[in-house]
């Protein structure tokens, strides 16, 4: 059996002599029995290759085709389920939700801002605090009920994004 020194092993593995000694100290490669500083070529190269493989477990040789294919099929299935739920209107695009919420809140804001102008002439004639409070409460309840009726404010949206006016609104 032919054995090689640290310098030769370092040259064959494209490493420094110091790195070869570090690998020996780490137990990655082993000296030839009974001869310190000497190494068998084939076992040393195999040990170094296995060390490199273990450092990179995600290398191409470790990828299982069936596992990767199963992951791809699962991702495609989830995507199809998502698309189906969007078409069935169980899920909505965030842009649609943002548009609807903006419309709803702007309508609510307008409704609240109009309350003082509408009620000022009526309340100016009232002297009973309970009656004024009841009128204001009724106006606030109307505004809040409009806010609660999401479909009445935003309208039902059909698949092309247009509002569906065939639905009765409250």
CA distances, 75 to each of 54, 84, 92 (Å): 29, 14, 20
Confirm whether 55 is domain-assigned.
yes
* 101 and 153 housed in the same domain: yes
Domain end call among 17, 40, 61: 61
Among candidates 157, 156, 155, 144, which has minimal Cα distance to 109? 144
Tell me the pLDDT band of 18, cut-offs 50, 70 and 90.
very high
pLDDT at 146 over 80: no
What is the 3-state secondary structure of 62-113? Answer: HCCHHHHHHHHHHHHHHHHHHHHHHHCCCCCCHHHHHHHHHHHHHHHHHHHH
Residue-wise pLDDT for 55-70, tens only, equals: 866 655 566 778 888 9
In the prediction, which pLDDT does 75 show? 94
Asked if residue 81 is part of any domain, the answer here is no
Question: Residue 152: what pLDDT?
Answer: 58
Q: Does 133 fall in a domain?
A: yes
- The position carrying tokens 């965030």 is 94
On whether both 158 and 98 belong to a single domain, the answer is: yes
74-113 tens-digit pLDDT: 999 999 999 999 889 888 888 888 888 888 888 888 888 8
Specify if 46 maps to a domain.
yes
13 pLDDT more than 70: yes
Q: What confidence category does residue 157 fall into, taking pLDDT thresholds of 50, 70 and 90?
A: very low
* Domain around 150: 94-164
Give every CB contact of residue 112 below 8 A, 6+ residues apart in sequence: 143
Are 99 and 160 contained in the same domain? Answer: yes
Q: Which residue has the tokens 């309508």?
A: 107
Residue 104 sits in the same domain as residue 148? yes
152/114: higher pLDDT: 114
């Amino acid at each position: 059996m032919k054995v090689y020194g640290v310098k030769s092993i370092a040259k064959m593995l494209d490493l420094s002599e110091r790195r070869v000694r570090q690998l020996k100290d780490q137990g990655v490669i082993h000296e030839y029995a009974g001869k310190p500083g000497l190494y068998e070529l084939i076992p040393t190269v195999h040990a170094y290759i296995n060390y490199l493989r273990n450092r990179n477990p995600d290398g191409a040789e470790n990828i299982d085709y069936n596992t990767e294919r199963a992951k791809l099929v699962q991702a495609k299935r989830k995507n199809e389920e998502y698309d189906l739920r969007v078409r069935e209107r169980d899920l909505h695009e965030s842009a649609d939700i943002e548009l609807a919420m903006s419309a709803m809140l702007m309508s609510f804001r307008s409704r609240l801002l109009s309350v003082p102008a509408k009620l000022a002439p009526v309340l100016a004639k009232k002297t009973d605090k309970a009656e004024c409070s009841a009128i204001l409460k009724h106006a606030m309840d109307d505004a809040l009920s409009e806010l609660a009726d999401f479909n009445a404010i935003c309208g039902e949206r059909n698949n092309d994004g247009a509002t569906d006016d065939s639905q009765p609104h409250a």
